Copies of this chain bind each other. A is one copy, B any other.
Amino acid sequence: MILDKINMPQDLKTLSADELNKLADEMRALIIKKANTIGGHLGPNLGIIEATIAMHYVFNCPEDKIVFDVSHQCYPHKILTGRKEGFLNPENYLKYTGYTAPEESVCDLFKVGHTSTSVSLAAGVAKARDLAGSKENVIAIIGDGSLSGGEAYEGLNNAAVLNSNIIIVVNDNDMSIAENQGGLYKNLELLRNTNGKAENNFFKTLGFEYFYEGEGNNIERMIKAFKKVKDTKCPTVLHIKTIKGLGLADADKNREIYHWILPGTLDKKPEISSAAPVEDYNTITKDFILNKAKSDPSIIAINPATPGVFGFNKDFRKQMGQQYTDVAISEEHAVAYASALAKCGAKPILCIMSSFIQRTYDQLSQDLCLNNSPATLLVYWGAISGADCTHLGCFDIPLISNIPNMVYLAPTCKEEYLSMLEWSAEQSDYPVAIRVPFGKFVTTGVKDETDYSILNLFKITQSGENIAIIGVGNFYHLALDAAAAIETKLGFKPTVINPGFLTGLDTECLETLKKNHNIVITLEDGVLDGGFGEKISRYYGSSDMKVLNFGAKKDFTDRIPVEELYQRYHLTPELILEDIENIMPARV
């Protein structure tokens, strides 16, 4: 195996052209096998193997500095920079994260998992080099999909005037996660079609020196291309055309499906399953939107480049037609666009993941909430999870719920969720975000008739005494379990409350609790700092009520199994009970 000889990038430099090509084959096989075993970003990584080999052949990493955008394309880089064991041996598959990580290798500068950041980061790296008076190359590698993000553009606009060495490698495979969206992509197409010769050139308008290489999967050509830009004295773009999923028989036809795959995907034929889909929060959301859109042309579903996450498959998009917009990786635009649609009488439903709504704080504040636009935002994957540190979904409650005018709802089951969705879509008074339940699909079978226009009305679902448990959204079910544990162990029935609203308190309900309760506990599936529970603590601060807030610690956890986090944060009925007993007076 050629790979046996490669421990760090400099080991590439003595290989022949043949050996480099064989190495690419070996790496391709390893990446396919690993992704099909544990899941991962398959398509983008297969497309960038040759360019990565050529890059490390030409440049001198770690002296030369490489910044990968969003890291969807960093597997080949990882193999060549001391981490091949994570690909060779299935026992080590989980040893390295799927993203760049400085703690793994001196060849990684940053932890990166959100898109469109590489150019800004590289600009900082280059400027630090200039201030220190050194001369190494600084390279940002950005996929075409990431180019639609505002941060990438801000970075390009600034990198272009650095007046020194910075090389932006634009890996253009004519795909974002799904199809590319937006005007820029026509220019990339024009550039590909003219072999980079077209006069009207996005990168040139920003002031970059520009090079094009149409055969981005040809190692020898890529070596030449990199040699051409190496040690450039000015901001330079190297635009390369690669094939996403190269090496998979049908990857070209199924590029979206192969962007990120689940274990075993390659062993099945994708998209041929005829079984009715199992009902879950995705399917009911999709059905809700489709049904509503059919009878109401003002309904419009919006998402920023991740339709697959929401189950918005090709059939859905086709049925929605003009009532669907994928805004590309443009979360800020998505929120402003939704706000304006709502302000002008349409009924936008913007679907976005908790981790990525972080990109829109100011748009939520200024474009949406300050204007009190009645748009609906569906926040997916908001929960404490075992995710990579770059994709945590536990910060959305502090992010969203402290913005004035916003109504943030936390449903606990199918019926509540659909009822909130229906109310939100039809009302015209508030910006509304709904934290789509995460985890087990729960259905009560009983239609939820709540009038959500009466804001901040908590639901007391079990009346009891001494202790009240407020279980937010996903954790309402934990509240029920904790209540049962309390009843068994302590011999009385505690009160259980489903607050529903995260953006305001039901002060009447909270006052009433004072009569026959002396402990209130809050359970939220997210970080405690700035969250819901603290507001309950503040409310009762001047009273005799004891309050215990349960939730996550403020921390960037990294692939810690969720069960372990639940133990750590005392998020099990048993541990909750223990904590309660610790603060209980001898007799409640």
Contact = CB atoms under 8 A, between A and B. Distances in A.
A222 interface: no
Contacts of A149: 150, 154
Interface string A143-164: 0000011111111111111000
Contacts of A130: 322
Contacts of A102: 371
- As for how many copies of this chain the complex holds, the number is 2
A154 B325 contact: no
Contacts of A124: 336-344, 346, 348
A477 interface: no
A557 to B, nearest CB: 9
Given A205-B187, A390-B366, A405-B556, A340 B120 contact: yes
A531 to B, nearest CB: 8
A327 to B, nearest CB: 5
Contacts of A537: 534, 537-538, 540-541, 547
Contacts of A148: 154, 157
A127 to B, nearest CB: 6
Interface string A218-261: 00000000000000000100000000000000000000000000
A499 interface: no
A328 B156 CA distance: 12
A358 B367 contact: no
A100 B178 CA distance: 37
A208 B186 CA distance: 11
Interface stretch (A24-32, A106-114, A422-430, A479-487): A106-114
A172 interface: no
A387 interface: no
A541 B548 contact: yes
Given A114-B366, A530-B401, A340 B123 contact: yes
A569 to B, nearest CB: 14
Contacts of A363: 117, 151
A300 B131 contact: yes
A20 interface: no
Interface stretch (A35-43, A196-204, A267-275, A465-473): A196-204
Nearest to A160: B183
A196 to B, nearest CB: 13
A41 to B, nearest CB: 17
A127 B358 CA distance: 25
Given A207-B186, A546-B542, A131 B390 contact: no
A23 to B, nearest CB: 30
Interface residues of A, number: 121
A182 B205 CA distance: 11
A395 B359 CA distance: 16
Contact of A160 (B114, B152, B182, B555): B182
Contacts of A509: none
A184 interface: yes
A287 interface: no
Contacts of A540: 537, 541
A447 interface: no
B181 A207 contact: no
A111 B195 CA distance: 45
A160 B180 CA distance: 13
Contacts of A533: 538
B358 A155 contact: no
B208 A204 contact: no
Given A131-B341, A403-B554, 19 more contacts: A110-B367, A113-B366, A117-B363, A121-B367, A123-B337, A124-B337, A124-B339, A125-B343, A131-B323, A132-B298, A148-B154, A149-B154, A150-B150, A156-B183, A182-B206, A395-B402, A401-B529, A534-B534, A541-B547
Interface in A398-412: 398-399, 401-405
Closest 5 CB pairs of A and B: A150-B150, A124-B340, A160-B183, A183-B207, A120-B336
A332 interface: yes
Contacts of A583: 542
Nearest to A544: B544
Interface in A378-434: 389-390, 395, 398-399, 401-405
Contacts of A292: none
Nearest to A163: B322
